[in-house]
């Protein structure tokens, strides 16, 4: 885990939200790596901090502490202007297909914006580049002159994806990119993402609460709980044998997985308030196997199988 081969190396990343009630530790000491061409799935319940993690990596939220190394360059502490060349290589796709396109801009303008900002191509060339992008994501070049409201949710998400890949980035952060879509449309968009990944050698950080989609698309999966990554590992290893009790509970909620009723573990209660996270292991109040040690000592991640680590005292 030296990070020299990695596209993205994150260490000890912290991001707080200041609210009237106090500081919320949305991202509280996250370590992760993404290799070139790799898809890392990030799962967790809503409110666990996975969207904030994505936004912090992209520089939309400023990190409080820690390090984000992207292609060898440190991003934490960089200002807007200094960040710009790196942004070209790291793009984002948002969840809401109805909110992520400016209703007053034509599709042509929306797709040419990234090219214009980074001075890619001459004025006349950009339109044909935008047309090619649109065709690549399965829409027609004639759609350039239409406006966002004329498209369905799935089509809009295709446009968002076209915008994200316009600059040929190395990494695309997909924040719940298919969660707002109908299941049949979801499959189309997921397949589009996969074919783009293969064509351009993209890496994805694929943030979702939908384990089925994450399992299909990812090479590795990270599980987040209350601002921390509790388990991370290769997809096969993690799906076959989840080590952390939280991961097991999350997976057993999936239909067709985890066998019979006896094996299914329902999570007790709601996740605790991130304003006042529990002492020790953050999962212990809901954990079926918690012991005294879990109440006092926060567990450090331990590698339990090659590349597969879990932050649990009891996991083996």
Binding-site string for other proteins from residue 146 to residue 185, where x marks contact by CB under 8 A and - marks none: ---xx---------x--x---x------------------
> How far apart, in whole angstroms, are the C-alpha atoms of residue 282 and residue 294?
8
> Which of the stretches 83-91, 127-135, 217-225, 257-265 binds other proteins when contact is defined by CB under 8 A?
83-91
- Residue 64 near other proteins by CB under 8 A: no
Residue 163 CB, shortest distance to other proteins, in Å, is 7
> How far apart, in whole angstroms, are the C-alpha atoms of residue 288 and residue 301?
19
Q: With respect to other proteins, which residue has the nearer C-beta, 44 or 59? A: 59
> How far apart, in whole angstroms, are the C-alpha atoms of residue 38 and residue 225?
22
Q: With respect to other proteins, which residue has the nearer C-beta, 83 or 254? A: 83
End-to-end CA separation in angstroms for the chain: 21
> Which of the stretches 9-17, 22-30, 76-84, 126-134 binds other proteins when contact is defined by CB under 8 A?
76-84
Strands 220-225 and 228-234: antiparallel
- Residue 18 near other proteins by CB under 8 A: no
> Which of the stretches 51-59, 239-247, 270-278, 305-313 binds other proteins when contact is defined by CB under 8 A?
51-59
> Which of the stretches 82-90, 218-226, 267-275, 281-289 binds other proteins when contact is defined by CB under 8 A?
82-90
DSSP 15: E
Q: Using CB under 8 A, which of 4, 21, 80, 269 touches other proteins?
A: 80
Q: Going along 121-264, which residue ranges are E strands?
A: 171-175, 203-207, 220-225, 228-234
> How far apart, in whole angstroms, are the C-alpha atoms of residue 36 and residue 8?
8
Q: Is 245 helix (H, G, I), strand (E, B) or coil?
A: helix
Strand partners, 13: 30
Reading the block at residue 298, the tokens are 């926060």
Binding site for other proteins (CB under 8 A): 55, 58-60, 80-81, 83-84, 87-88, 91-92, 94-96, 98-105, 113-114, 117-118, 149-150, 160, 163, 167
């Amino acid at each position: 885990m030296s990070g020299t081969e990695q596209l993205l190396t994150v260490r000890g990343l912290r991001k707080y939200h200041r609210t009237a009630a106090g500081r919320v530790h949305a991202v509280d000491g996250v370590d992760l790596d993404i290799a070139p061409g790799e898809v890392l799935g990030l799962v967790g319940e809503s409110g666990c901090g996975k969207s904030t993690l994505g936004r912090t990596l992209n520089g939309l939220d400023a990190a409080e502490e820690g390090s984000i190394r992207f292609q060898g360059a440190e991003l934490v502490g960089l200002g807007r202007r200094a960040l710009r060349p790196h942004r070209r290589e790291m793009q984002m796709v948002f969840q809401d297909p109805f909110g992520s396109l400016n209703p007053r801009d034509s599709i042509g303008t929306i797709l040419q914006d990234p090219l214009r900002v980074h001075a890619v191509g001459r004025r006349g060339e950009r339109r044909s580049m935008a047309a090619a992008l649109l065709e690549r994501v399965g829409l027609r070049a004639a759609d350039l002159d239409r406006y966002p409201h004329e498209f369905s949710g799935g089509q809009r998400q295709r446009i968002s994806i076209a915008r994200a890949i316009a600059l040929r980035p190395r990494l695309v952060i997909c924040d719940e990119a298919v969660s707002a879509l109908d299941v049949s449309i979801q499959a189309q968009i997921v397949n589009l993402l996969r074919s783009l990944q293969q064509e351009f050698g993209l890496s994805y950080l694929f943030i979702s609460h939908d384990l089925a989609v994450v399992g299909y698309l990812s090479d590795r999966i990270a599980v987040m709980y209350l601002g921390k990554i509790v388990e991370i590992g290769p997809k096969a290893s993690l799906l076959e044998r989840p080590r952390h009790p939280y991961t097991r509970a999350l997976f057993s909620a999936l239909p067709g997985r985890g066998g019979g009723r006896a094996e299914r573990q329902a999570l007790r209660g709601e996740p605790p308030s991130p304003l006042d996270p529990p002492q020790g292991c953050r999962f212990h109040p809901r954990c079926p196997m918690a012991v005294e040690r879990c109440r006092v000592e926060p567990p450090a991640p331990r590698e339990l199988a090659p590349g597969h680590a879990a932050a649990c005292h009891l996991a083996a």
